[in-house]
Amino acid sequence: MASVSLKKFTNQPIDALRRFVRFARGLLTASRQHAVGYSHANGAFDALSVERAGFIQVEGWDKHDRLQDIALPQCFVDGRVLPVLEAFRSFRPDVATAIGADNSFLGLVVLYAIPRDRCGVLHRVKLVHNDTTVFDINDAFQTETPPYGKLLDTQDVLHRENIYAYGPPATAVAEEIRRLAMALPGPVLDFGCGSGVLIKSLRDHQIEAYGIELDRKPVAESLLRGAREHIQLYDGGYPLPFADGQFASVIASEVIEHVAEYETALNEIARVTRDSFLITVPDMSSIPVCHHNHVVPWHLLESTHVNFFTQASLRRVLEARFRDVQFARLCPAMTNGSKWYGNLAAVCRK
């Protein structure tokens, strides 16, 4: 009968548990830093970090004046050499003091890009300098394809239009917003009404509706026939040119995120409405939901957005002014199997 090593048998589940703990730790952390502690003739490599965002960072220092003269280490992941993404200096007064140098920017940081086809769980990371292995570890490191990866290495000079989106006032209204607006008691004020598209839609359904908008040439030129005569253009100041409780309902659809003094605006809205308030803002929860698809919904990047709300933050500011606040999410979309919503809506009652 073949003998069985009890020691080997009993260690198997323990070793498996240790491997699992290391694996889980790698999954839960955004960055895993390890001490390197390797010195060479011109400096040292102090630490190596595996960044969940899809790159490896090596930190140390080097007394060469020019980056081009530094022998950068090679970084290997699971046997594959990684390309250097960037190398740059960092502020290290501690090094300058220790070696008596006048230059305090002797710190060295090297970034290595993990190829997209290798992002996921990494196991072995090795650092080699001048044919000497200075760091070698087997572990479990969770990495992802870098969100907005082009911003890590593009050689293009990006301009405002590459980052932000903008455009003229809308000439159509989402059906969900129109339905919510039609359920409000009139008369209705559309605060920040744009071209008047919602006013026209409400009036087409025999709902008394009015609007107020900034007195700007692009706005004035965009006003729709059938709504223009019911819209008041003003300078954007407060108080609003209306009496207390003049309207049964007020709507602010995709407006408050543009208003720097949003607290004052909400106070004025609460003053001029006697019953209901409908507000919609961009839904910030779409950013983490869409993160793994490496996209941000374009509407969130409009250059005139100055306030960004979560449902919790919007609830806080609304419940300070209204008795009842009910939330909805509007304009659902699907990106690579991930469902997200374009807008966060709240119907408030006094």
Three-state DSSP string of the chain: CCCCCHHHHHHHHHHHHHHHHHHHHHHHCCEEEEEEEEEECCEEEEEEEEECCCEEEEEEEECCCCHHHCCCCEEEECCEECCEEEEEEECCHHHHHHHCCCCCCCEEEEEEECCHHHCCEEEEEEEEECCEEEEEEEEEEECCCCCCCHHHHCCCCCCHHHHCECCCCCCCCCHHHHHHHHCCCCCEEEECCCCCHHHHHHHHCCCCEEEEEECCHHHHHHCCCCCHHHEEEECCCCCCCCCCCCEEEEEEECCHHHCCCHHHHHHHHHHHEEEEEEEEEECCCHHHHHHHHCCCCHHHHECCCCCCCCHHHHHHHHHCCCCEEEEEEEEEEEECCEEEEEEEEEEEEC
Pair (210, 335) in one structural domain: yes
266 CB contacts (<8 Å, ≥6 apart)? Answer: 256, 317, 318, 321
| pLDDT for the residue numbered 31 | 59
Pair (183, 145) in one structural domain: no
| pLDDT for the residue numbered 218 | 80
Confidence tier at 157 by pLDDT (50, 70, 90) = confident
Pair (118, 188) in one structural domain: no
Per residue in 282-292, pLDDT tens?
887 777 766 66
Count of structural domains, the chain? 2
**Residue scoring higher pLDDT (22 or 73):** 73
| pLDDT for the residue numbered 160 | 58
10 Å CB burial of residue 238 (0-12, 13-18, 19+) is exposed
Per residue in 54-94, pLDDT tens?
889 999 999 998 888 999 999 999 999 999 988 989 889 99
Final residue before a domain boundary, out of 129, 156, 183: 156
Mean pLDDT of the chain: 83
| pLDDT for the residue numbered 8 | 37
Pair (131, 217) in one structural domain: no
Q: Is residue 1, in this structure, part of any structural domain at all?
A: no
Pair (181, 107) in one structural domain: no
Pair (139, 185) in one structural domain: no
Of 116-120, 320-324, 329-333, give the range with the top mean pLDDT: 320-324
Pair (179, 53) in one structural domain: no
pTM over 0.75: no
**CATH value at residue 289:** 3.40.50.150
| pLDDT for the residue numbered 51 | 83
Pair (151, 184) in one structural domain: no
Q: Rounded to an integer, what distance in angstroms lies between the CA atom of residue 45 and that of residue 39?
A: 6
- Domain around 43: 6-156
Share above pLDDT 90 across residues of the chain, in percent, rounded to a whole number? 47
Pair (243, 145) in one structural domain: no
Confidence tier at 333 by pLDDT (50, 70, 90) = confident
Pair (183, 151) in one structural domain: no
The whole-number average pLDDT for the span 295-317 is: 79
Confidence tier at 215 by pLDDT (50, 70, 90) = confident
8 A C-beta contact, residue 170 and residue 255: no
Final residue before a domain boundary, out of 156, 187, 202: 156
| pLDDT for the residue numbered 10 | 42
Confidence tier at 247 by pLDDT (50, 70, 90) = very high
The whole-number average pLDDT for the span 132-139 is: 95
